Amino acid sequence: MDIFNKAGVIVTSTLVMVGMLIACQVKEEVQPPAPVVEAVARKLAEHGGAAAERRLREWEEQGSPVAARELGLLYILDAAKHNEAVRLLEKAALAGDTVSANYLANHARSGTTVSRGDSERDMPMYVQLASQRQTK
């Protein structure tokens, strides 16, 4: 009976060490590919959920332009989060996200105000960004 306890301890300690090594190698700062971010955003849009929104927010804070765009597009319809939505879309557009730049440029061209107060100053930038991306 004593041999089985020793073998269990050895197996358990080995599994714990392997788990610790795997955990040490995992990078928290790795940004997921765009399709993964968009799938999480679709889930959030369809079903809601604080966990999905928190995950998108983490990826946005790590610098993912796709996560910033998806959060901005989710927030744009909520009046309370409108300024945050515009900030996120601007961040994504300046990081090279063409969908965000096109979204903001289309609103600029249609005359729809996207941001409060300083829309006249910001709109040409979005139009210019969208135009540059389309010509490439």
- Phi, psi of 130, deg, nearest 5: -65, -40
- Rounded average pLDDT over 108-125: 55
**What tens digit of pLDDT does each residue of 77-110 get?**
888 998 999 899 989 988 888 888 888 888 777 7
The answer on pLDDT for 136 being more than 50 is no
Considering the entire predicted model, what is its pTM? Answer: 0.63
**What tens digit of pLDDT does each residue of 36-80 get?**
888 888 888 888 888 888 888 999 999 999 999 999 998 988 889
Delimit the domains of the chain by residue range: 32-135
pLDDT of res. 79: 87
